[in-house]
Chain A
C-alpha cells in the first residue's frame, strides 16, 4: 500500500513542518535560547519537510530490498542532500558555526526514533497475528 501519494503529499509536508517547528519552539522555550537565524531556519525546516516526505515516499518502491539497507540508504541520502544544501548556502551567505552538526542531529534523531517505532510496530503486529492464529485453531 502506498502511504504517501500525490493526493496527501502536501498534507504530510505540512504535518512534518508543524511538528518540527513546534518541537524547535518548545526546545528553544525550555532552554531560553534565541534563534538569530529564525527566518532562515523556518525555510530550512520547510525544505527539510519536503525532502524527508520525498525520501519516505520512495519506501513503497523499495519494499523488495532488505529493510536495513533501505533505511541506511535513505538516511545517507537525506544527510548527503542536507549537507550539500548547507555547503551551497555557505557559498552565498554565512552559515552558523555548528550548522553541519545541528543538521546531523536534526536528521539522526528522527530517523532513529522512526526506525525504532517501525520495528516495535512490526513485532507487535506479529505477536497479534500469532494470537489470532492460535484462536483460529
Chain B
C-alpha cells in the first residue's frame, strides 16, 4: 500500500481519499485505525447539543458524578461514564491518570515530577493535571504501546 501526501494551499479541511481495487489485510488495518481515530462524541455545551471529535479532547474528568470533556475552548458535558469512555477509546490514546480523570496522550506537552513522586502533566493548552502514583505504571505502559504502534 502506498501513501501519497499532497500539499494543497487554501484547503478548507484536510481529507483522506483511498484508491483501491480490493481491500486487502493491510488496507483494512489502516482503515480500522482511522475509524478509531476519526470518532466523535456527543455532549452538551451551554444547553446546546454538540458533537466533538475525540482527537480534539484534551482530557475528560468526572466532577460530582458528571463527566466533562475539555477541548481547546469548550467544556462539554458528556453522558458516558469515565470507565466506558476509557474502555472504548483507550486504543486512540486515552489513559487514566487519577480516579476521576483520563487524558489524551497526544495532547500532552511534557511531564514533570515533584518531590512527592507525583507526575505533573503539562497539556498543550497550558493546563496542568496531576497524575496519581497508582496510575503511573499503566500510563507508561500505554505510552510504550503507542510508541510501538508508531514504530511499526
Instruction: Please give the residue numbers on chain A whose beta carbons come within 8 Å of chain B beta carbons, in ascending order.
Output: 1, 60, 63-64, 66-69, 118-119, 122-123, 125-126, 128-130, 132-133, 135-136
Which chain A residue lies CB-closest to B146? A136
A133: contacting residue among B111, B133, B134, CB under 8 A:
B111
The interface size of chain B toward A, counting residues with CB under 8 Å, comes to 26
- Contact A130:B110 (CB < 8 A) given known A63-B133, A63-B134, A125-B140: yes
Residues in A neighbouring B27, C-beta threshold 8 A: none
Determine if A132 and B144 form an interchain contact, defined as CB atoms under 8 angstroms apart.
yes
Determine if B111 and A67 form an interchain contact, defined as CB atoms under 8 angstroms apart.
no
Determine if A135 and B150 form an interchain contact, defined as CB atoms under 8 angstroms apart.
yes
- Contact A126:B119 (CB < 8 A) given known A133-B111, A135-B150: yes
Residues in A neighbouring B112, C-beta threshold 8 A: 126
* Residue from B105, B111, B140 whose CB has the most chain A CB atoms within 10 Å: B111
Determine if B147 and A68 form an interchain contact, defined as CB atoms under 8 angstroms apart.
no
B113: contacting residue among A63, A64, A68, A123, CB under 8 A:
A123
Per CB-CB distance, the 3 closest pairs between chain A and chain B, nearest first, are A67-B117, A66-B116, A63-B134
- Contact A68:B115 (CB < 8 A) given known A1-B137, A129-B143: yes
Distance (whole angstroms) from the CB of B120 to the closest CB of chain A: 10
Determine if A122 and B150 form an interchain contact, defined as CB atoms under 8 angstroms apart.
no
- Contact A130:B113 (CB < 8 A) given known A1-B137, A135-B147, A136-B106: no
Q: Determine whether B100 belongs to the interface, using a CB cutoff of 8 Å to chain A.
A: no
Residues in B neighbouring A136, C-beta threshold 8 A: 105-106, 146-147, 150
Q: Determine the distance from Cα of A64 to Cα of B105 in the docked complex, in whole angstroms.
A: 22
Determine if B116 and A129 form an interchain contact, defined as CB atoms under 8 angstroms apart.
no
Q: Determine whether B108 belongs to the interface, using a CB cutoff of 8 Å to chain A.
A: yes
Which chain A residue lies CB-closest to B124? A137
Residues in A neighbouring B51, C-beta threshold 8 A: none
A sample of 10 more A-B contacts (CB under 8 A), given A67-B133, A123-B113, A136-B105, is A1-B138, A63-B132, A64-B134, A68-B115, A118-B117, A125-B140, A130-B111, A132-B143, A133-B111, A133-B143
